């Protein structure tokens, strides 16, 4: 009987989601907002079609676990370790300063010190599920704002553990000792290292044996067991399901099985994740919201403004360009799902009253609904207007004195390989990159003609002397920045030959319309490599290939 009730709930969620998502798609609104609205409609404060959300919450957590798993795979362990210091720095500073801002606001509202500290806890978290879903939908995980946002999100999730341990101190009860808290943190780090080390060697061995068996169904089941199994282990040891799933993804990210596993997991991830966003809409009390809409709107605005401003200032301070700073700030401007967990514990522990709890829940859900719209608007505005690093007017003596040269946008693997070839062939070049660390490393290696900045900024391109350049190579991960850079470059030099690298074949038509002369999609290049090697096995001459 219970199984039929759960099946009925799932049917209601998916059935109501279809028309709502269809309407939102026609209106060009993000699908996440549609799922949230669906939850409000069918939930206990709407049509009351679903009043008990116990089983729904479990499905929601599974969806987040699958999402973090695929993100872990796509980031890859080697890339994660390369940017680990960046993750820890940005994440640590964001949590500290946002917590500080929340605490100061609490004190200004004449709350007690324990309540003010608790408000700081609540404010310091953003939504893993929403942020990662938005980045993934845009293919933006590897962009500067993507790396920053993912690093901060992961650090926030880890900080849930010490925050939960500190709550008893805020109630005046005798909580765990300082030594116990430090041991808990150390244990968390040891758990992460142990899981990564064990999974790094054990899981690939298991997957290789299963792949050799050529039993697709067993491989799919094993992929799911790996995801949920490691997530459950970390949860049982005191960390979150999301962190465990992310670690599982990282552990197998550099193996040969990643693409197949992602394709196997994706259908489950999308269904469960849609349930997650619907479940968030269900917790909004519409009667309370109607009675206190003024306070709720004000609090929501303050939350979004403070969080966006904090992240923007931090990222700008770390010498990232305006565009990456702005997009990072907007992306992380909502309240996270772990804040809801903390708020519930704080309410039950009498740190905050029921009225404050309901105000926080209502305002947080509103930030959740508004956030995808703000993110979409920010991307649209920055891409359309090419808002970027403020730059001075470029005088002729500030420009790099080269003619008939190559401008390389992006110092990733493709950019570095091209630089090596151009050096060997004595072809002059200029490098533009918005990762300040890449610039420092390149200058240490003796690179002279290198600029730190946003390649979609006309002044930066002018400093690279784009008017006299022969070739522009755009090899950056940000799809929107790529298109903006292309259109501005062609406007500055219509005769410029532009070569664009893109991850997706679907971008080719739009890039051609913007003026790209050569477009190299990674998917297409992979297919060329495949058929070339197949033909070589049949001794087809290279001239024919």
CATH of the domain at 430: 3.40.50.720
Cut 0.75: pTM above it: no
Q: How large is the average pLDDT for residues 485-504?
A: 89
In this predicted structure, which of 7-11, 23-27, 169-173, 480-484 has the lowest mean pLDDT? 169-173
Q: How confident is the model at residue 164 (pLDDT cuts 50, 70, 90)?
A: confident
The Cα-based distances of 262 to 72, 151, 223, 540 in angstroms read 11, 21, 9, 34
pLDDT of residue 460: 86
Q: How confident is the model at residue 395 (pLDDT cuts 50, 70, 90)?
A: very low
The verdict on residue 544 lying in a domain is no
pLDDT at 123 over 90: yes
**Radius of gyration of the chain, Cα coordinates, nearest whole angstrom:** 25
Most confident of 39-53, 60-74, 160-174: 39-53
CA–CA distance, 221 with 205 (Å, rounded to integer): 16
Token pair recorded at residue 9: 């709930």
pLDDT of residue 389: 40
Q: How confident is the model at residue 493 (pLDDT cuts 50, 70, 90)?
A: very high
pLDDT at 6 over 70: yes
Residues 357, 422 within the same domain:
no
Q: How large is the average pLDDT for residues 211-219?
A: 76
The verdict on residue 502 lying in a domain is yes
Q: How confident is the model at residue 298 (pLDDT cuts 50, 70, 90)?
A: very high
The Cα-based distances of 434 to 30, 245, 259, 488 in angstroms read 28, 31, 29, 17
Residues 218, 345 within the same domain:
yes
- pLDDT over 70 percentage in the chain: 89
pLDDT one-digit tens code per residue, 366-377:
998 899 889 989
Residues 448, 355 within the same domain:
no
pLDDT of residue 384: 60
pLDDT of residue 481: 82
Q: How large is the average pLDDT for residues 79-95?
A: 82
What burial letters (b/e) apply to 208-217, b meaning 16+ CB within 10 Å?
A: eebbeeeeee
Q: How confident is the model at residue 449 (pLDDT cuts 50, 70, 90)?
A: confident
CA–CA distance, 363 with 231 (Å, rounded to integer): 30
pLDDT at 23 over 70: yes
Residues 419, 522 within the same domain:
yes
Q: How confident is the model at residue 172 (pLDDT cuts 50, 70, 90)?
A: low
Beta bridge partners of 501: 520
The Cα-based distances of 295 to 4, 119, 123, 358 in angstroms read 41, 16, 17, 11
Residues 406, 518 within the same domain:
yes
Q: Which of 94, 96, 70, 125 is nearest to 337 (CA)?
A: 125
Residues 248, 345 within the same domain:
yes
Most confident of 84-93, 415-424, 463-472: 463-472
CA–CA distance, 542 with 536 (Å, rounded to integer): 8
Q: Which of 247, 264, 236 is nearest to 203 (CA)?
A: 247
First to last CA, the chain: 63
Host domain of residue 432:
396-537
**Residue showing tokens 């993750």:** 87
pLDDT one-digit tens code per residue, 246-269:
888 887 777 777 767 777 787 888
pLDDT of residue 124: 93
Question: If DSSP codes are grouped into helix, strand and coil, which group holds residue 501?
Answer: strand
The verdict on residue 174 lying in a domain is yes
Instruction: Look at residues 385, 417, 445 and tell me which one is the last residue of a structural domain.
Output: 385
Q: How large is the average pLDDT for residues 389-415?
A: 71
Total domains in the chain come to 2
Q: How large is the average pLDDT for residues 6-20?
A: 87
Residues 65, 107 within the same domain:
yes
The verdict on residue 85 lying in a domain is yes
Cβ burial of 406 (10 Å; 0-12, 13-18, 19+) is buried
pLDDT at 327 over 60: yes
The verdict on residue 425 lying in a domain is yes
User: To the nearest whole number, what is the mean pLDDT of the chain?
Assistant: 82
Q: How large is the average pLDDT for residues 91-119?
A: 90
CA–CA distance, 16 with 33 (Å, rounded to integer): 14
Contacts of residue 423, defined as CB under 8 A and 6 or more positions apart, other chains included, come to: none
Residues 471, 430 within the same domain:
yes
pLDDT at 424 over 50: yes
Torsion angle of the four alpha carbons 153, 83, 328, 196, in this order, in degrees rounded to the nearest 10: -20
The Cα-based distances of 285 to 356, 360, 366 in angstroms read 13, 11, 11
The verdict on residue 291 lying in a domain is yes
Residues 260, 400 within the same domain:
no
Q: How large is the average pLDDT for residues 194-210?
A: 77
Residues 401, 367 within the same domain:
no
Residues 419, 371 within the same domain:
no
What burial letters (b/e) apply to 223-255, b meaning 16+ CB within 10 Å?
A: bbebbbbbbebbbeeebbbbbbbbbbbbbbbeb
Instruction: Look at residues 357, 385, 413 and tell me which one is the last residue of a structural domain.
Output: 385
Residues 66, 200 within the same domain:
yes
pLDDT of residue 250: 80
Q: Which long-range contacts (CB under 8 A, 24 or more apart) does 445-450 make?
A: 447/419, 449/400, 449/402
CA–CA distance, 101 with 351 (Å, rounded to integer): 19
Question: If DSSP codes are grouped into helix, strand and coil, which group holds residue 472?
Answer: strand
pLDDT at 213 over 90: no
pLDDT at 302 over 50: yes
pLDDT at 231 over 80: yes
Q: How large is the average pLDDT for residues 272-284?
A: 84
Q: Which of 160, 167, 169, 171 is nearest to 124 (CA)?
A: 160
**Residue showing tokens 């282990």:** 233
Instruction: Look at residues 385, 420, 437 and tell me which one is the last residue of a structural domain.
Output: 385
CATH of the domain at 88: 1.20.1530.20
């Amino acid at each position: 009987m219970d199984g039929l009730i759960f099946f009925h709930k799932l049917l209601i969620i998916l059935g109501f989601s279809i028309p709502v998502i269809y309407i939102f798609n026609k209106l060009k609104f993000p699908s996440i907002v549609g799922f949230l609205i669906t939850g409000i409609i069918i939930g206990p404060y709407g049509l009351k079609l679903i009043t008990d959300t116990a089983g729904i919450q479990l499905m929601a957590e599974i969806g987040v676990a699958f999402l973090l798993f695929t993100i872990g795979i796509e980031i890859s362990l080697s890339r994660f370790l390369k940017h680990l210091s960046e993750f820890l720095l940005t994440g640590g500073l964001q949590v500290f300063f946002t917590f500080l801002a929340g605490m100061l606001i609490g004190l200004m509202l004449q709350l007690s010190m324990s309540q003010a500290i608790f408000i700081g806890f609540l404010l310091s978290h953003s939504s893993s599920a929403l942020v990662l879903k938005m980045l993934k939908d845009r293919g933006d995980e590897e962009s500067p704002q993507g790396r920053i946002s993912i690093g901060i999100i992961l650090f926030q999730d880890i900080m849930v553990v010490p925050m939960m341990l500190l709550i008893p101190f805020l109630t005046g009860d005798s909580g765990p000792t300082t030594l116990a808290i430090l041991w808990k943190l150390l244990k968390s780090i040891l758990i992460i290292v142990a899981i990564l080390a064990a999974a790094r060697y054990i899981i690939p061995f298991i997957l290789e044996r299963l792949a050799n068996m050529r039993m697709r169904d067993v491989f799919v089941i094993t992929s799911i067991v790996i995801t949920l199994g490691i997530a459950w282990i970390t949860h049982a040891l005191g960390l979150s399901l999301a962190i465990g799933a992310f670690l599982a993804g990282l552990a197998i990210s550099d193996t040969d099985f990643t693409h197949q596993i992602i394709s196997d997991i994706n259908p489950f991830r999308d269904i469960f994740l849609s349930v997650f966003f619907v479940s968030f809409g269900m917790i909004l009390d519409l009667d309370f919201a109607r009675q206190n809409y003024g306070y709720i709107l004000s609090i929501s605005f303050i939350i979004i403004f403070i969080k966006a401003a904090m992240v923007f200032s931090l990222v700008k301070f770390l010498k990232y360009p305006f565009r990456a700073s702005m997009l990072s700030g907007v992306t992380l401007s909502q309240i996270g799902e772990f804040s809801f967990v903390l708020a519930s514990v704080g309410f039950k522990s009498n740190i905050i009253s029921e009225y404050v709890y309901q105000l926080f829940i209502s305002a947080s859900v509103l930030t959740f609904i508004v956030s995808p719209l703000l993110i979409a608007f920010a991307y649209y505005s920055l891409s359309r207007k090419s808002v970027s690093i403020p730059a001075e007017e470029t005088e002729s003596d500030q420009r790099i004195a080269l003619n008939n040269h190559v401008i390389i946008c992006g110092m990733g693997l493709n950019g570095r390989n091209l630089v090596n070839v151009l050096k060997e062939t004595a072809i002059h070049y200029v490098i533009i990159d918005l990762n300040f660390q890449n610039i420092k490393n390149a200058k240490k290696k003796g690179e002279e003609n290198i600029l730190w900045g946003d390649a979609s900024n006309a002044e930066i391109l002018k400093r690279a002397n784009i008017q006299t350049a022969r070739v522009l190579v755009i090899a950056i991960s940000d799809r929107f920045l790529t298109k903006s850079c292309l259109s501005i470059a062609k406007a500055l030099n219509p005769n410029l030959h532009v070569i664009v690298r893109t991850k997706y074949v679907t971008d080719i038509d739009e890039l051609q319309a913007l003026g790209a002369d050569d477009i190299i999609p990674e998917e297409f290049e992979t297919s060329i490599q495949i058929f070339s090697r197949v033909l070589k096995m049949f001794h087809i001459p290279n001239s024919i290939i």
